[in-house]
A and B are shown apart, each in its own frame.
Chain A
Amino acid sequence: MTQSRFSWQQLRDSQLFWPLLALAMILLFNLFFTPGFYNIEIKDGHLSGFLVDILNRGSVLMLLAIGMTMVIATGGVDLSVGAVVAISAATATVLINPALANELISSEELIKDVTSTPLWICITAALLVATLCGLWNGLLVSRGKIQPMVATLVLMVAGRGIAQLITHGQIITVYYTPYFFIGNGYLLGLPFPLFIALFVYLCTWLWARRTAFGMFVESIGINARSSFLSGINEKNIKLVVYTFCGFCAGIAGLIYSSNVKSADANNAGLNLELDAILAVVIGGTLMSGGRFSLLASVIGALVIQSTTTTMYAVGVPAMAASAIKGLVVLVVILLYSEQTKLVLTRVVERVGARS
Chain B
Amino acid sequence: MQGIYKSFPGVQALENVDFELQRGEIHAIVGENGAGKSTLVKIITGVERPDNGRIELNGVPIQAKSPQNAQELGISTVYQEINLCENLSVAENILLGREPRKFGRIDWRAMQAQAKEILQHLEIDIDPTKDLGDYSIAIQQMIAIARALEISSAKVLILDEPTSSLDTHETAKLFQVMRKLKSEGLGIIFITHFIDQIYEVTDRITILRNGKLVGTYDTPALPRLELIAKMIGRVMGDFNDMVQTKLRSDQQREGGPLLQAKSLGHSGSIAPFNLDLYAGEVVGLAGLLGSGRTETAQLLFGIDKPDSGTLNMAGEDVKSFSPAGSIAKGIAFCPEDRKADGIVDELTIRENIVLAVQSNKGWAKRLTKHQQYELADKFIKMLAISTPSADQKVKNLSGGNQQKVILARWLATNPQLLILDEPTRGIDIGAKAEIQKLVLELAEEGKACLFISSELEEVLRTSHRINVLRDQQFVAEFSDAVDEHTIMQTMAGSEK
* A contacts, CB < 8 Å to B: 210-213, 215-216, 218-219, 222-223, 225-233, 237, 290-291
**Contact of B341 with A232 in the complex, beta carbons under 8 Å:** no
Nearest neighbor of B324 in chain A, beta-carbon distance: A231
The interface bits of chain B over 326-353 (1 if a CB of A lies within 8 angstroms of the residue's CB, else 0) are: 1110000101000011111111000100
Contacts of A237 in B (CB 8 A): 363
Whether B364 sits at the interface, judged by CB under 8 Å, is yes
Residues on A with beta carbons closer than 8 Å to the beta carbon of B365: 211-212
Please name the residue on chain A nearest to B298 by beta carbon: A229
Q: Is the CB of A223 within 8 A of B358?
A: no
Across the interface, do A290 and B346 meet the contact criterion of CB distance under 8 Å? yes
Within the complex, the shortest CB–CB distance from B324 to chain A, in Å, comes to 4
B356 lies within 8 A of A291 (CB): no
Q: Is the CB of B475 closer than 8 A to any CB of chain A?
A: no
Contact A230 B366, CB 8 Å, known A215-B351, A219-B355, A222-B344 = no
Measured CA separation A219–B409 after assembly (Å) = 14
Q: Please, what's the 1-or-0 string for B91-119, where 1 marks a CB less than 8 Å from any CB in chain A?
A: 00000000000000000000000000000
Given contacts A226-B342, A227-B344, A229-B335, contact A215 B324 (CB under 8 A): no
Q: Which 6 A-B pairs have the closest CB atoms?
A: A231-B324, A231-B359, A231-B327, A212-B366, A213-B363, A230-B356
* Shortest Cβ distance from residue B304 to the other chain A in the assembled complex, whole angstroms: 12
Q: Nearest Cβ distance between residue A208 and chain B, in whole angstroms?
A: 10
Which of B323, B345, B360, B361 has the most A CB atoms < 10 Å from its CB? B323
- Interface status of B367 (Cβ within 8 A of chain A): yes
Nearest B residue (CB) for A216: B363
B382 proximal to A (CB < 8 A):
no
**Do residues B363 and A226 form an inter-chain contact, with CB atoms below 8 A?**
no
Q: Cβ of B482 < 8 Å from any Cβ of A?
A: no
CB proximity of B294 to chain A, nearest CB, Å = 13
Shortest distance between the CB of B245 and any CB in chain A (Å): 33
**Counting chain B CB atoms within 10 Å of each CB, which of A218, A222, A237 scores highest?**
A222
CA distance A230 to B353 in the complex (A): 10
B433 at the binding interface (Cβ < 8 Å):
no
A143 to B346, CA, bound (A): 26
Determine the distance from Cα of A218 to Cα of B345 in the docked complex, in whole angstroms: 11
Instruction: Return A213 CB to nearest CB of chain B, in Å.
Output: 4
Contacts known (A210-B366, A216-B363, A225-B341); A230 close to B355, Cβ less than 8 A: yes
- With a cutoff of 8 Å between Cβ atoms, the chain A residues found around residue B326 in the complex are 231
| CB closest residue in chain B, given A226 | B344
Q: List 6 A-B contacts (CB under 8 A).
A: A210-B366, A212-B367, A218-B344, A222-B344, A229-B333, A290-B346
- Name A225's closest neighbour in chain B (CB-CB): B341
Residue of B326, B341, B360 with highest tally of chain A CB at under 10 A: B341
Given A225-B341, A229-B323, check contact A216 B359 (CB 8 Å). yes
- Given the known A-B contacts A212-B366, A213-B363, A229-B335, are A223 and B343 also in contact in the complex, defined by CB atoms under 8 Å? yes
Asked if residues B358 and A222 are in contact (CB atoms below 8 Å), the reply is: no
Q: Name B residues whose Cβ lies closer than 8 Å to a Cβ of A.
A: 301, 303, 323-324, 326-328, 333, 335, 340-347, 351, 355-356, 358-367, 409
| Minimum CB distance partner of A228 in chain B | B323
- Of all chain B residues, the one with the shortest Cβ separation from A224 is B344
- B residues less than 8 Å from A227 (CB atoms): 344, 355, 359
Q: Which residues of A contact B335 (CB under 8 A)?
A: 229
B367 surroundings in chain A (CB, below 8 A)? 212
Query: How distant is the Cα of A225 from the Cα of B362 in the complex, in angstroms?
Result: 18
Give, as a whole number of angstroms, the nearest-CB distance from A286 to chain B: 9
Alpha-carbon distance A290/B363, docked complex (angstroms): 17
Cα–Cα, bound, A305→B361 (Å)? 41
Cross-chain contact A212 with B303 (CB below 8 angstroms): no
**Within the complex, which residue of A211, A231, A290 is in contact with B323, where a contact is CB–CB below 8 Å?**
A231
Please name all residues of chain A whose beta carbon is closer than 8 Å to the beta carbon of B409 when the two chains form the complex: 230
Question: Once the chains are docked, how many angstroms separate the CA of A233 from the CA of B356?
Answer: 11
Partner of B340, one of A215, A225, A230, A231: A225
Question: How far is it, in angstroms, between the C-alpha of A230 and the C-alpha of B327 when the chains are bound?
Answer: 8
Q: Is the CB of B323 within 8 A of A226?
A: no
Contact B341 A226 (CB under 8 A): yes
Bound complex: CA A229 to CA B297 (Å): 12
Question: Measured between alpha carbons, how far is A177 from B323 in the docked complex, in Å?
Answer: 55
For the complex, give the distance between the alpha carbons of A216 and B363 in Å: 8
* In contact, B363 and A222 (Cβ under 8 angstroms): no
Closest chain-A Cβ to B475's Cβ sits at a distance in Å of 28
Q: Closest Cβ of chain B: how far from A91's Cβ, in Å?
A: 30
Contacts of B343 in A (CB 8 A): 223, 226
A218 to B365, CA, bound (A): 17
Additional pairs, 9, CB under 8 Å, beyond known A219-B355, A225-B341, A232-B355: A210-B366, A211-B366, A216-B363, A218-B344, A223-B345, A226-B344, A229-B335, A231-B326, A291-B346
Knowing A211-B364, A212-B363, A212-B366, the reply to whether A229 touches B358 (Cβ < 8 A) is no
In the docked arrangement, what's the CA distance between A227 and B323, Å?
10
Bound CA–CA A230/B326 (angstroms): 10
Q: Please, how many angstroms separate the alpha-carbon atoms of A294 and B275 in the complex? A: 49
Q: How far is the CA of A207 from the CA of B328 in the complex (A)?
A: 24
Q: Are A212 and B358 CB-contacts (below 8 A) given A222-B345, A230-B409?
A: yes
Which listed residue (B324, B333, B366) contacts A232, Cβ 8 A?
B324
In the complex, residue of chain A having the shortest beta-carbon distance to the beta carbon of B361: A212
CB <8 Å contact, A233 and B324: yes
For residue A227, which residue of chain B has the nearest CB?
B344
Q: Which residues of A contact B341 (CB under 8 A)?
A: 225-226, 229
In Å, the complex CA distance between A291 and B351 comes to 12
Docked-complex contact B363 and A231, CB < 8 angstroms: no
Interface centre among A212, A222, A225, A230 (most CB of B within 10 A): A230
Q: CB distance B344 to A231 under 8 Å? A: no
Residues on A with C-beta less than 8 A from B333 are 229
Min distance, Cβ A291 to any Cβ of chain B, angstroms:
6
Complex CA gap A4/B356 in Å reads 38
Known contacts being A229-B335, A231-B360, is A223 close to B366, with CB within 8 Å? no
Instruction: From known contacts A211-B366, A229-B323, A231-B323, infer whether A222 and B347 are also in contact, taking CB-CB under 8 Å.
Output: yes
- CB contacts (< 8 Å) of A291 on chain B: these are 346
Q: Within the complex, what minimum Cβ distance (angstroms) separates B395 from chain A?
A: 10
Instruction: Report chain B residues within 8 Å CB of A210.
Output: 366
Q: Is the CB of B363 within 8 A of A211?
A: yes
Asked whether, in the complex, the Cβ of B347 is within 8 Å of the Cβ of A230, the reply is no
Is A223 within 8 A of B363, CB to CB? Answer: no
Judge whether A219 and B344 touch: CB under 8 Å: yes
Q: How far is B394's CA from A222's CA once the two chains are assembled, in angstroms?
A: 12
Q: Inside 8 A of B324's CB, which chain A residues have their CB?
A: 231-233
Give bound CA distance, A157 to B323, whole Å: 37
CA distance A223 to B340 in the complex (A): 7
Closest to B327 in A: A231
Q: Which residues of A contact B351 (CB under 8 A)?
A: 215, 219
Q: Chain B CB within 10 Å — which of A210, A211, A212, A213 has the most?
A: A212
Chain A residue contacts of B356, Cβ below 8 A: 230-231
Nearest Cβ distance between residue A67 and chain B, in whole angstroms? 18
Q: How far is the CB of A320 from chain B (nearest CB, A)?
A: 39
In the assembled complex, the Cα of A237 lies from the Cα of B360 at a distance in Å of: 14
Contact partners of A211 in chain B: CB under 8 A: 363-366
Whose C-beta in chain A lies nearest to the C-beta of B406? A226
A215 to B347, CA, bound (A): 9
Contacting pair B358 A215 (CB below 8 A): yes
CA distance A212 to B347 in the complex (A): 13
In the complex, A222 Cα to B346 Cα: how many Å?
7
Q: In whole Å, how far is A212's beta carbon from the nearest beta carbon of chain B?
A: 4
Contact A232 to B359, CB < 8 A, known contacts A211-B366, A222-B346, A290-B346: yes
Q: Report chain B residues within 8 Å CB of A290.
A: 346
Once the chains are docked, how many angstroms separate the CA of A233 from the CA of B322? Answer: 10
